[in-house]
Structure 1
Amino acid sequence: MLGAVNRVLLGITGAVLLAAGVALGAALRPLGGRHEPLLSAATRERYWHAEGGWWWAVAAGLAVCVVLALWWLLAQLRRPRLSALLVDTGDEAYAVLRGRALEEAAAAEAGALDGVARCRAVLRGRQGRGRRKGAPKLRMELELEPHAVPADALAGLAGP
């Protein structure tokens, strides 16, 4: 739920900033005429040479801001871990299983197998049924000991 609110607020903020930029650009454009730049040549020359290299610092700062904003946007679009999973108990009731608890239990069980040095599990996807795109998936990474046979470790992981 928090991720959805975060994305909505990010979208609203982006729309407001875009509208403000368009309005500001439309309001400033008629000041010098349609084919004139916002800053005259004399103003650009005075600030460019009088103040030294601060324009480069402003441009670099804006570039860093753009890169950070894009990084934040991509982080919002990334699929988060599944925080909880509804499990059908069979008697027309459901139990809520925490995602982290399932990850820890699966990692502990796989870590107890012969030849497994370390295991990490991540539960991804969305709550749902069937094999739809986005259904919950448990991704496991196994680090095997030197004497372990990978096929045996996978067979032990898959169960009987």
Structure 2
Amino acid sequence: MLRTVNRVLIGIVGLALLLLGGSVLAVGLGAPPPSWWIHDGRHDVLLSNAERTRWQNDGWWWPTVIAALAVLVLLALWWLTAILRRRRLAEVLVDTGDGEGALLRGRALEGVLAKEAGELDGVAHAHVHLTGRRTAPETRVQLLLEPHVDPGTALHHLTTEALMHARNSAGLASLPAEVRLKGVKHRAERVS
């Protein structure tokens, strides 16, 4: 969801800046101003003295400007923290049967799962990322497949071997996984 919001916001801001900057450049180079243009021509100033000082003496002007800028800063900070926030799961709660439970480091489970997935037949490289909550972890697996491997077979081996072993060893009821398969780049084989 955040990835979609991020892309839409960047697209809207980029399009607005492109349209505004392109129209300023075009008018500055001598093109006739568009119908929505707020100035008369290329030698017109951006803000006249009357426009800059129009609401300066009104009591609502400065609080409104400060509030709008504060909202923009808060939205920008929220956006930045949402992008930079760590999404990696630090630990997984393993049910030990005594009611207490034990904590398993997320990096350890990622490492073991990536190693086992990387040892599957035809897998050149595996990368595992653990997300979710510590009581209900989820995985994102990226497999780099050799050219001769059937993706369906590789996915079947991943789910029945590596993911099942990880789920059973951590004592989890389920371990949902998002798997992305990608083929190794290779040169074309010569047919004789």
Could you tell me which runs of 5 or more consecutive residues in structure 1 were left unpaired when the two chains were aligned. 1-29, 39-64, 129-134
Aligned residue in 1 for 2:155: 154
Picking from 115, 118, 134, the partner of 2:122 is 115
TM-superposed deviation, 1:91: 4.5
Picking from 69, 74, 77, the partner of 1:69 is 77
Give distance in 2, aligned partners of 1:91 and 1:74.
Answer: 37
Give distance in 2, aligned partners of 1:102 and 1:95.
Answer: 14
The answer to whether the 8 A contact 1:79-1:124 is kept is: no
141-150 vs 84-93, greater mean Cα deviation: 84-93
TM-superposed deviation, 1:156: 1.0
Give distance in 1, aligned partners of 2:123 and 2:74.
Answer: 44
Q: TM-score, normalised by structure 2?
A: 0.43
Give distance in 2, aligned partners of 1:102 and 1:117.
Answer: 20
TM-superposed deviation, 1:88: 1.0
Give distance in 2, aligned partners of 1:125 and 1:67.
Answer: 25
CA deviation profile, 1:35-74 (whole Å, cap 9, x unmatched): 8x66xxxxxxxxxxxxxxxxxxxxxxxxxx8896354143
Q: Classify 1:33/1:147 alpha carbon distance in 2 versus 1 (closer, same or farther; 3 Å).
A: closer
Give distance in 1, aligned partners of 2:118 and 2:56.
Answer: 70
Aligned residue in 1 for 2:102: 95
Q: TM-score, normalised by structure 1?
A: 0.50
User: 1:147 is paired with a residue of what secondary structure?
Assistant: coil
Give distance in 2, aligned partners of 1:31 and 1:156.
Answer: 70
Q: Classify 1:114/1:32 alpha carbon distance in 2 versus 1 (closer, same or farther; 3 Å).
A: same
User: 2:158 is paired with a residue of what secondary structure?
Assistant: helix
1:83 and 2:106 are equivalent in the alignment: no
- Whose helix proportion is higher, 1 or 2? 1
1:137 and 2:163 are equivalent in the alignment: no
Give distance in 1, aligned partners of 2:101 and 2:58.
Answer: 67
Q: How many residues align?
A: 97
TM-superposed deviation, 1:158: 1.3
